[in-house]
Every structure is written in C-alpha cells, then in structure tokens.
Amino acid sequence: MALPANKAGDVGVVNWRAAVWVCIIGFILPLSGQQLPDEELQANFSGYFDNYQVTVIYPNFALTRHLSESTAITGRYLVDLVSAASIRAGTGTTAGGENGEGDDGEFEKPGQSTGGQQADVVTAASGGGEGQIRLSDDVRNEFVLGVTRLIPNGTFALNGLYSKEHDYSSRTIAGTISQDFAEKNTTLQLGFVRSWDKVFPISKTWTRGANVETADATFSQILSTRLLSQFIFSYTKTNGQLADVYRTIKIAGPDSVIEYDPVSPYNRYRRAVSSRIVYRLNPLSSITLGYRYYWDSWDIRSHTISSLYQRHLSRFMTLGVGFRTYFQNEAFFFKSEYAAPEQYMTADSKLDKTYSTQLELKLTVDGGNEDGYLPFIDNDRLQYNFGLNWYRRHTDSPDWFTGLNVLSAVYFNVGIRYKF
C-alpha cells in the first residue's frame, strides 16, 4: 500500500486515508499466537521539584482489560498539579499580534507592552483572590483511551488522548502497528501521532492552534541469548502557536524597557535517531546503553547518552541505577539579549545552548514473598515501584524568571501494579 508523496501544501506527514485503511485492516485481520498487554491496574504518585520554584505533583492511573482473546482496552488518567512562582507573580499584558498568521507565514508580529506594574515578569494569573489557599497554580487533566488488537505475528494499537489545562488543550490520536519476523528475533514497529492543540493564554484575548504530526519506526533485533538491540527513527512536524507568550522579551528602549511577545517560525521539523542495546552481564544483572541524535529546522542539534544498570538483589527485589547526559546547541534565533526587535525572538530556555545530567535510582519489589515481613508483599499479583531522579541542567543564558543558569530538580515516583 504505497502512500502518495507529499504535495506542496500538504500538511500530512502521514497520508490520513492510508492511516484509516491501516486501522480497518488492523481490526479484520485474523489472529496469531501473539500476546496482548497484561491485564493490570497501575497507580503512580509522582512529584517534581526544582530550584526555579516549580513543583508538579502528578498522580496517574492506568487500567488494561481484555475484551476478548484478541482485543485489549486501556484507560489512563493523569493530573498535573503545578505550583510555580512564575505563575503566582504579578500580571502584565502585552499587545501582541491579532489572531491568525501574519505575512509570509509568520504567526505573530511583535507587540509592545502596555506598561506592566512589575517589570520583572509577565505571567498568567491562575485565579483566586487574596487569602484563598490554593493547592496548585495550574491543573492539567489528561485522559487516554486505547485499544490493542492482535494481528498475524504482531499487534495493532490505537490511542486517543485529551488533555486540558486553563490555557491549553490537546486532542491526540496515536497508533502503532508491530510485526515480528525471523521467529520473533526481529520486530518492526511503525507509529504515528497527530495532535490538534489549542493555545489560549490568560494574558491574551485570542485562541490559536498548534498541530503536531509524528511518524516513527522502531527496529528491534535479538542478537544473542544475552543481547538485544533497538533502533528508532522519528520525524515530527509541528506548526502553529509554538512560542510561549508568557515569556516576554525585554528590550531597552530610549526611555524604558519595552516587553515584546516572543515570535517563532510557524513550522518546526524535528528528526531523531536513536539506538539502544541491552546486554546480560550475568544471571543477576544487565546493562542498557543508549544514544540519540536529534536535529531540527530551528538548527538545534543534540546528543543524548544514557545508561541503566539493573541487578536482582533477591528473587523479589531489583535495583536499577541510571545515568543520562544531554548536550544541545541553541536555536538559530535564540539570543540572550535582543538589542532591537527581530523577526524571530524567544526567551525559552529550552532553545538555548544546554547540557544536562541525570542520575536515576529505581527499585522494584515483586509480591509473592511468603517469607517477607510485610503483609502486603506476599501477593504475587502485586508489584511496587520506587524511583528517584536527580536532574541538573545548565543553560548558557540565565532563565527569564529566576535569572539562574543552573536548574536543579528532583523527581520521585511511587507506584503499584496489580495483575489480574
């Protein structure tokens, strides 16, 4: 089934008629000796804290059940409770561009500040009056519903996602089809994601769209009884309101500092290739090594190197220690300071020259230990997961709100899985 080549003006990375046919075929193909995802209930409580005064608590739940021998359904709910000093700080407004695109496809023209009371920041007010206790400054709810179907020598999965917060909503459809070859020594998986996002900042009067389309291919290969490998290639096209308008650009004028809305190119084309291997060192331990190279049309290039060592401490307990390092250069239009308004301007530190490191610890405790001291450990359907990550990121330019170059963060997770 050949897909037609993209014509000028085509938005789609993936031909959507072909994608619909894949969905139809995926549901009528006969079965094979494959396995659906396990029926399980998973609950996690995760938290993120950093020195930029951002705290995020995100409990999430997922349930997978089999509808038949060949079909499984998965539901997931996640809530982000965000507490951020940048949100709680005062409000200013900028006169940005009007709705829709500007000339030549640029999405926005620079606007000028109406004269904010606080010169430091422009943020969104999250509502609530004085004296009210708020658990968070922003809440994002995310709902996912998905179905997995067995096909000959593989699986087909389709997921729908809806995410909503006070200034952003996202509707996403994602699908994967996988196929085994060579006595299941080789697996090819193709995936696609399409998001329709809406951006409606509180400090603005407009609503704008942002689109994301992603296609990826994953090749997994068993190389020996002790070595697995995987290669992934992904291509993402995004367009629309890509700039974060809360992070304004301050340019010194003759008499005052003028704040401008950030402006980014309308399109962004993002590509990445990665490779991972898992090697069994001995009956008790393994090591995973990974490398990713990323490049995009905003001239960002990055390298990610990761490793994870896992060891069985006992029949029921497994410890993992991981290390990740990341390097990227800045986007072509990123500057730490703008002397005058330019066609593209940004204060987003994600687009700055950056390097980061992360240390990860994870502990998995499986139930079924009848000799254990804790009563809820003896159920072999249960699994407990604990994770702790330390993350440190350095940017060449200081952060727009805190003025710091180094972000230090801690992430933790406590989770439980119950297999039916």
Partner 1 sequence: MLKKLILMGFIFLWVWLSGCATVRPWERESLSDPIMIMDENPIDSGVKQHYLDYREGSVGATGEQSGGCGCG
Partner 2 sequence: MSKIFGILLVITLAVFPKDAPQIGQPAPPFQGTTFDGKKIELNDFKGKVVLLDFWASWCVPCREEMPFLIDLYNRYHKSPFEIIAINIDTKLDNARKFMDQLSENIRFTVVKDSEQQIPPKYQINGMPTSVLIDKKGIIRFWHTGFKASYKEDYISEIDELLKE
**Which residues of the chain form contacts with partner 2 (CB under 8 A)?**
1-6, 12-15, 18, 22, 25, 31-35, 69, 152-154, 177-181, 183-184, 188, 190, 215, 217, 235
Q: Which does 4 bind (CB under 5 to 8 A by kind): partner 1, partner 2, none?
A: partner 2
51 binds partner 1 (CB under 8 A): no
Cβ closest to partner 1, residue 130 vs residue 287: 287
> What is the rounded distance in angstroms from the CA atom of residue 234 to the CA atom of residue 323?
23
419 binds partner 1 (CB under 8 A): no
Q: Which does 143 bind (CB under 5 to 8 A by kind): partner 2, partner 1, none?
A: none
168 binds partner 1 (CB under 8 A): yes
Site string for partner 1, 170-189 (x = CB under 8 A): xxx-x-x----xxxxxx---
Q: What are the structure tokens assigned to 362, written together?
A: 């994870």
Least spacing, CB of residue 136 vs partner 1, in Å: 13
149 binds partner 1 (CB under 8 A): no
- Among 229, 259, 228, 220, which Cα is nearest to 120's? 259
Q: Which does 222 bind (CB under 5 to 8 A by kind): partner 2, partner 1, none?
A: partner 1
Cβ closest to partner 1, residue 197 vs residue 259: 197
Instruction: Calculate ∠ Cα 216-328-331, nearest 5°.
Output: 90
Give residue for tokens 């993209």. Answer: 6
User: Do β-strands 208-224 and 249-252 pair in parallel, antiparallel, or remain unpaired?
Assistant: unpaired
Residue type, 373: Y
Residues 272-301 that bind partner 1 (CB under 8 A): 272-276, 278, 280, 283, 285-286, 288, 292-296, 300
Which residues fall within 8 angstroms of residue 81, CB to CB, at 6 or more apart? 56, 57, 58, 135, 136, 138, 139
411 binds partner 1 (CB under 8 A): yes
**In three state form, how does the secondary structure of 113-180 look?**
ECCCCCCCCCCCCCCCCCCCCCCCCEEEEEEEEEEEEEECCEEEEEEEEEEEECCEEEEEEEEEEEEE
SS3 334: coil
Least spacing, CB of residue 233 vs partner 2, in Å: 9
Least spacing, CB of residue 226 vs partner 1, in Å: 6
248 binds partner 1 (CB under 8 A): no
332 binds partner 1 (CB under 8 A): no
Phi-psi region of 242 (alpha: psi -120 to 50; beta: other; left: phi over 0): alpha
Cβ closest to partner 2, residue 7 vs residue 129: 7
- C-alpha R_g of the chain: 24
Least spacing, CB of residue 407 vs partner 2, in Å: 34
Least spacing, CB of residue 266 vs partner 1, in Å: 17
